[in-house]
Amino acid sequence: FKALDRDRTDTAAILYTGGTTGTPKGVMLTHEAINFSSCSIAYYERSTEKDVALCFLPFNHVFGQIHIMNSTILSSGCMEMLPSFDMDLVLEIVEAGWITKFFAVPTVYIRLLGLPDLKEKLGPLRYCFSAAASMAMEIVRQWKEQTGITISESYGMTEAMPITFNHYYPERHVVGSVGHPVHGVEVQIRNTSGKLLEQGQEGEICVRGRNVMKGYLDNPEGTLSAFWEGGWVRSGDIGLFDPDSYLYIVDRIKDMIITGGENVYPREVEEQLYTRPEVEECAVIGLPDKEWGERVVACIVPKPGQKIIPDALKTFLKSRLSPFKVPKEYVVVSQLPKSPAGKILKREVRKQFLEAGQPGKGEKG
């Protein structure tokens, strides 16, 4: 066949968003964007030809295709591939001793933390990375304590990745942050009108750089609404910068709950719930309420052998959160709906709750 000349700004791949907050959209990524992303990741992870990465994440998602596969190939490393996550098979491969880099989503790390002798099972693993969903600070701390390995994180999305990285220098890793902007990527915090906010103020994270998408496939209206003037793509995430230029993700704009006129960011509540020994996974959502507009509801997957006691959780949360942020209802479920990439789909949680009354066994407090 004859090779065709392509411009660096031509569309090279169309990857679909996870559909966490709505219908998945086809993201048109350019040759330049994919090349920039792959090179940046290989640099920040200090990837070499001696690395062997384990991948069980789907290649139709930006995490599996670009972050893991492309950057590994670019750095001449090797990759062990599995069709999906299988705990026994993953442990067998890791314990064999040739895997040096491990990539997973938060739910996988949570499951692995329940294993005895975890550090011995990981063998010579040098690097762990989590993406696709926000990682609770408590999970990062527990993993470091049990394995001695810091879970690296970055902030990115199908429309632009990576945006930040935490961190090229392990000693500068800050738990709870997604790190500093990667080289060549600009990050701003803006209000709903597009006005630039000062350091420390919460607002929407906006991004500009060679890693930004060309637009949404066959969706000119969606593309127009996704950008501010000047090529700044809107993330839909609320964040802020600290004095040292570390970026922190507060929550998704669409996930914010308004109860009694007060704003509640679910992630803040979830971070506290994850510090409880009986909680394996959780999702905090807002549901319609005649009195409050929305009521805060916590859906919880308990750890094996543990029982969720709503009154105990409510008392605990009241000591750490403002009263209006404390869930009015606690629902115990066996599992939470997730995307193929491992993100908890809160819109599906809400849908199940509203259609069936509640998604599982409910316990109110």
pTM: 0.86
H-assigned helices in 282-345: 310-318
CATH 3.30.300.30 residue ranges in the chain?
Answer: 256-364
Nearest-angstrom CA–CA distance, 133 and 136: 10
CB within 8 A of 61, min separation 6: which ones? Answer: 15, 18, 132, 158, 340, 341
Amino acid at 88: D
CB within 8 A of 265, min separation 6: which ones? Answer: 238, 250, 251, 255, 256, 257
Nearest-angstrom CA–CA distance, 221 and 215: 10
Q: What is the DSSP letter of 196?
A: B
Q: Which fold has domain 256-364?
A: GMP Synthetase; Chain A, domain 3 (3.30.300)
Full pLDDT tens readout for the chain, 365 residues: 888 899 999 999 999 987 666 678 999 999 999 999 999 999 999 999 999 999 999 998 899 999 999 999 999 999 999 999 999 999 999 999 999 999 998 889 999 999 999 999 998 899 999 987 778 899 999 999 999 999 999 999 999 999 999 999 988 999 999 999 999 999 999 999 999 999 999 999 999 999 999 999 999 999 999 999 999 999 999 999 999 999 999 998 889 999 999 999 999 999 999 999 999 999 999 999 888 999 999 999 999 999 999 999 999 999 999 999 999 999 999 999 988 778 888 989 998 888 876 444 444 44
Nearest-angstrom CA–CA distance, 27 and 17: 7
CATH 3.40.50.12780 residue ranges in the chain?
Answer: 11-183+209-225
Nearest-angstrom CA–CA distance, 314 and 307: 14
Residue 45 φ/ψ, nearest 5 degrees = -90, 0
Nearest-angstrom CA–CA distance, 211 and 37: 6
Kindly state the tokens that stand for 256. 């914010």
Asked if 98 and 104 touch (Cβ cutoff 8 Å), the reply is: no
Contacts 24+ apart (CB under 8 A), 147-150: 147/118, 147/119, 147/122, 148/119, 149/122, 149/125
DSSP 338-352: B-TTS-B-HHHHHHH
Q: What is the DSSP letter of 14?
A: E
Q: Which fold has domain 11-183+209-225?
A: Rossmann fold (3.40.50)
User: 266-273 and 310-318 are packed helices; what angle lies between their axes, rounded to 10 degrees?
Assistant: 110
